[in-house]
Amino acid sequence: MWLTAGEAIERLSIKPQTLYASVSRGRVRAKPDPADPRRSLYSAADVERLAARRAGRPSAREVAADAIRWGEPVLPSAISTVIEGRLYYRGEDAASLAETATAEDVARLLWAADGPLELGSTKLAAAADERGLPALFSHLAAVVTVAPHSRGLGERALIIEACRVLAATANVLCGPGAEPIHMRLARRWGRADAAELLRRTLVLLADHELNASTFAGRVAVSTGASLPAGMLAALATLTGPLHGSAALAARLLARRAGEIGASAAISERLAEGRAVPALGHPLYPDGDVRARALLAAFQPPAVYRDLAAASEDTVGEAPNVDFALAALADVLALPETAPVELFAMARSVGWLAHMLEQAQSGALIRPRARYVGRRP
């Protein structure tokens, strides 16, 4: 069953912008109205679920079920967290770190390493003729069965293995060399003048608590699988349009906005029942601090400034870091796949930190399913 916008707004007692925000966040499904393609219909089941949640305290089963979808924390971690709208890496403000730190500095911090990291190892980092995500997938798949299982490795051995995996990732995504990762990326894309912007981006995207790709990597390593196996799981998860590929959708939206205007491009997506990409974030009700820190470092193209203003007016959501990443890629004229590659390179540091923490805990991640199928 589907509801009109007016019916959904009345049932939830909310403003239209709040309904659009729920669609953008994937909480309420929408589809074009067959009778009028300019309008949308909204899932009655999703609306009723939200209404019930607003009306009273959820049951223990509902709390458990929602814990893996922006719910309560589900496992302990000392790596990163969001507190009052600020992102912290082991207690250090990430936006402040981004002013001067490198990806290598953040790796040492997040991995709780005692000394400098040896990232020059080539045991798992043979130079590849091709660059980009397909090459990285191929490389990880080739080494996943020969790399040592994470279970049973001591703390020092795990860090050495993490160094090898990060070195391999940097070699494939950035090209071989002894320079810092951000300088190698700048050289690969022919934008030596953008090295500082890339450095800042790598730090801001290094980790973000227990997001989907990080959780996937932790689940893999919790079984005792190798760190490359965990990286492969995390990388595959990152490619989804609700995660690392959101910036690619934002670039497409910006191009459409350049053709018909920002407000019209946003209205067009909403009328088609599609969420507006790269807006809002449940952990940042007052705006994504990572997006602010990145957008403050350069002048976004005019079309992105128009989209940000139109989004606030239409959807009631501010741009998130995926939006900032898309704007960065466009202002630097980077290749089409650059945003997700930059995201993957940055987040590799955090993925490995979480895998190290998970391996050292020795715990298996194995939640239960709440069965809703036919009774036997």
Task: Assign residue 37 the CATH number of its domain.
Answer: 1.10.1660
Which of these is catalytic: 139, 281, 288, 306? 281
Q: What is the pLDDT of residue 179?
A: 93
pLDDT for the residue numbered 364: 94
Residue 335 and residue 199 share a domain: yes
pLDDT value of residue 349: 98
**Co-location of 110 and 17 in the same domain:** no
Separation between Cα atoms, residue 30 and residue 154, nearest integer Å? 50
Is 201 part of a structural domain of the chain? yes
CB atoms within 10 A of CB 3: 22
Would you state the pLDDT for residue 143? 94
**Residue 257 falls inside a structural domain:** yes
Q: Has residue 65 been placed in a domain?
A: no
Contact, 102 vs 203, CB < 8 A? yes
What's the whole-model pTM score?
0.83
Q: Do residues 94 and 28 share a domain?
A: no
Same domain, 155 and 267: yes
Residue numbers of the domain that contains 191: 74-376
Token code pair at residue 120: 């020059």
State the SS3 of 350-371.
HHHHHHHHHHHHCCCCCCCCCC
**Is residue 192 in a domain?**
yes
CA nearest to 170, candidates 341, 353, 340: 341
**Are 104 and 180 contacting, i.e. CB atoms less than 8 angstroms apart?**
yes
Q: Using CA atoms, how far apart are residues 267 and 245, in angstroms rounded to an integer?
A: 21
pLDDT at res. 56: 56
Is 281 marked active-site?
A: yes
Please indicate, yes or no, if residue 63 is contained in any of the structural domains. Answer: no
Q: For 285-330, where are the E strands, in sequence order?
A: none
Q: Does 160 lie in the same domain as 134?
A: yes
For 140, the 3-state DSSP assignment is helix
Residue-wise pLDDT tens for the chain (376 aa)?
888 888 888 888 888 878 877 876 677 888 887 877 777 888 888 888 788 766 655 554 554 555 566 665 678 999 999 999 999 999 999 999 999 999 999 999 999 998 888 886 444 444 445 789 999 999 999 999 899 999 999 999 999 999 999 999 999 999 988 899 999 999 999 999 999 999 999 999 999 999 999 999 999 999 999 999 999 999 999 999 989 999 999 999 999 999 999 999 999 988 888 889 999 898 898 899 999 999 999 999 999 999 999 998 888 889 999 999 999 999 999 999 999 999 999 999 999 999 999 999 999 999 888 899 999 9
201 plus 229 within the same structural domain:
yes
Tell me how far apart the alpha carbons of residues 187 and 336 are, in angstroms, rounded to a whole number: 17
At 375, the amino acid letter reads R
Q: Are residues 213 and 108 in the same domain?
A: yes
Mark whether 39 and 96 lie in a shared domain: no
User: How large is the C-alpha radius of gyration of the chain?
Assistant: 22
- Tell me, yes or no, whether 50 and 170 share the same domain: no
Q: Residue 72's pLDDT is what?
A: 59
What is the count of structural domains for the chain? 2
Rounded Cα distance between 311 and 351, Å, is 31
**Domain-located, residue 62:** no
From the list 46, 288, 306, 322, the catalytic residue is: 322
Pairing assessment for the beta strands 36-43 and 2-3 based on DSSP bridges: antiparallel
CATH of the domain at 305: 1.10.580.10
Q: Write the CB contacts of 154 (distance below 8 Å, at least 6 apart in sequence).
A: none
The reported pLDDT for the residue numbered 10 is: 87
What sign for the dihedral angle of Cα 138, 144, 150, 153? negative
Closest Cα to residue 74, out of 64, 84, 83, 82?
Answer: 64
What string of DSSP letters covers 14-76? --HHHHHHHHHTTSS-EEEETTEEEEEEEEHHHHHHHHHHHHSPPPHHHHHHHTTTT-S--S-
Residues 326 and 242 in one domain: yes
148 and 191 both lie in a single domain: yes
- Pick the closest to residue 266 from 297, 307, 324 (CA basis): 307
The answer to the question of residue 117 being in a domain is: yes
Asked if residue 50 and residue 84 are part of one domain, the reply reads: no
Question: DSSP 3-state assignment of 151?
Answer: coil
66 is catalytic: no
Residue with the two structure tokens 């932790």: 218
